[in-house]
Structure 1
Amino acid sequence: MVDINYISLALSLVALIISVATIIILFYQSQIQKGQYDVESETLSLEMFLRSLEHTGTNEAREARDYIFKFPDLTNQTSSISSDETVEVYIQDREGKIKEYTHNFVIPTGDDWKKITDVAVRIDRVGFILFNIKLSKTIKEAYLEWWCSTIVDSWNRLAPYIYLKRSKRENYTPYFEKLSKEAFPYYYNRKNDAKLVLLEKPE
């Protein structure tokens, strides 16, 4: 006769093997699902990013950028006329040297404010998505390399108006400013005399 204890032990071992096998199968299923989720998440993030880029490529967006490019680039100014508002800014060159500069400017009205807001908000929206959703490092670097001139040139013209807006809305277009700083190293690789406007003195 077969020993009952032996049978019980054998059944226990079989149950243990089945339990371990089940855990392993469930683990690999979860990893597969996680991998599928990661792929879907990255795809969705890329779609969101591309849609935000579409908003910067419309005729309206290009017209607004062309309009604000008529504004003075603060990094090329040696003096400024007396006017409505004054802002203390800092000019950073490619070597990291900082120079303080007092800029006087006229408070925009009507169409000027509309164009300024249009450019600032569109670029800020791209920055928000770039820094807050899951995108590969390659995509981020490619974008900054491609658009660095537009970002920095826009920021260097609109910085005083952003400063003015922030007197009423403290957190106005923060990702526009962050994008300009992230894009600057790519910008000065293209332009030997590249400079960037800073609204606060670096520590």
Structure 2
Amino acid sequence: MIDRHLRPDEIELLLDGEEGFGVAPLRAHARSCVECQGELESARALMMALDSLPDFAPSPAFADRVMSQVHVFEPWHAAATRTVGQLIPATRPARIAASFGAAVTAGLATASVTWAVARADLAVFTASLGLERFREQLVAAGSDVVSTVIGQPGLDALRGSSPEVMALALGGFVAAAGMGVVGIRALATSARGSR
């Protein structure tokens, strides 16, 4: 005999008509306990009321409406397979023509790459020629800037001097330009402060 009230899972066992070890003491307790008997009867009435309700089925478009709002993760390989599948022609002659076109394109690409690798010396020569031209243009532009700042006689003097003197002159120019910028900013700040 059980000396406590039945739990909801035990009441469900009795409603389902389960048989087995441990069910007999539950039935005996339900017959002797007025409160548990009332719980069992109200659960049985609820179950009969639920069974009497009509069955409802969702509309056929219900699943489509729900799934249209669900964000489904698609792996990259599945997306790639689907995309490639859409690109494959549907008819056999079109598939043969597409395969022939792909083979010709792959052959031309292979031949182009092979030719370019075989002529790597030409590519290196062209690149070095381009870099030499770029360096010449950069030096010419730098000479123009220096001749504008210190004049042609100063530029001729720098060309005839050692690299250390050129580096020292460049450092002096950068320092003078920096001090000029700082001075202009100081003047602008003091002019704003006096207003």
Q: Which TM-score applies when normalising by structure 1?
A: 0.24
Greater relative contact order, per chain length (Cα 8 Å cut-off, separation 6+)? 1
The structure with the largest helix share of the pair is: 2
State the TM-score, normalized to the length of structure 2: 0.25
Rg larger for: 2
Task: Give 1 or 2: higher strand fraction.
Answer: 1
